[in-house]
Amino acid sequence: MKRTAFAAAGLGLALLLTACGSDDGNSSDTAGSTSSSSMWTTPEAPKIDLSQYPALPAPSAPAAPTVDCTYPAAGAAAKDVQPPNGTGVSTAGTVGVALTTGQGPIGMTLDRGEAPCSVNSIVSLTEQGYFDNTPCHRISTAPGLGMLQCGDPSGRGNGGPGYRYANEYPTNQFAANDPALNNPVVYPRGTVAMANAGVDTNGSQFFLVFEDSLLQPNYTVVGTISDEGLATLDKIAAAGVDGSTAPSDGAPTDTVTIATAKVA
């Protein structure tokens, strides 16, 4: 299991955002550290002026109407599921996914043009019931990182679907060794993005951004959150973090469980 550290750049703030797709198959986190069940954060920093940081780069238009995606095995799945078909995946249009939670509905609009392989995976997992009755195990209300993380049926932050796949937008807008990949950009409020254990280790975990957040452009953006969903997230965020691990990063005070996920 890998735990990834995202840096809310320039803040001296390193936060662990777990994702799927670790080397041992029990999945992951967001940026690549060692296997540990603990989470940590430094004390909260003052409010950050995000205007000094760049926005996400503009996405390129799809080069073809379809792409072929690969989903290599990555250890045991947290919940029994089959990898998606990766042949002839569409790059056109959007698809809706509706999350029903005990705290309220969260609607997502996923963009095939920006992240066809990621959207293909989420749709496949949704149709197989993978996200049903699963917790959103982590919330951050720290300056520069406001998000709720979901998608691990184990609820431990290290669970995934038993496969992994490559990063897409915005990572693919940069050359592989571009130093800009180490610099933060603003992931705006309303973004849905994939958590990971390092570049190209995406699995089933995703995070829902409810405050403009600073992250390196190494987290695949898959879509946007509905206004109704943002209202639900604001309610969850207002209740805060349970405080057992850190004052601004940990399990939500109010338990958040995805009762059902449906392709709209």
Fold (CATH) for 5-35+69-82+93-263: Cyclophilin (2.40.100)
The pLDDT of residue 26: 39
d(CA 42, CA 108): 31
Average pLDDT over residues 213-237: 98
Of 18-27, 50-59, 69-78, 168-177, the one with minimum mean pLDDT is 18-27
β strands within the chain, DSSP E:
5-8, 13-16, 66-67, 89-90, 94-101, 104-111, 134-135, 138-142, 145-150, 185-187, 191-194, 206-211, 213-215, 221-225, 249-250, 257-263
Residue-wise pLDDT for 54-102, tens only, equals: 999 999 999 999 999 999 999 899 999 999 999 999 999 999 999 999 9
8-41 burial, b if ≥16 CB within 10 A, otherwise e?
A: bbebebebbbbbbbbbebbbbbbbbbeeeeebeb
Quick one: which H or E segment has residue 121? helix 116-127
Q: Which of 91, 81, 85 is nearest to 71 (CA)?
A: 85
The pLDDT of residue 139: 97
Residue-wise pLDDT for 121-167, tens only, equals: 999 999 999 999 999 999 999 999 999 999 999 999 999 999 999 99
Of 22-26, 75-79, 160-164, 227-231, the one with minimum mean pLDDT is 22-26
The DSSP output letter for 85 is P
As a whole number, the mean pLDDT across the chain is 86
Residue 37 has pLDDT above 60, yes or no: no
Provide the residue ranges of all domains of the chain, joining segments of one domain with +. Answer: 5-35+69-82+93-263
The pLDDT of residue 81: 97
Q: How far is CA 187 from CA 68, 118, 164, 211, 227, in A?
A: 27, 17, 23, 9, 17
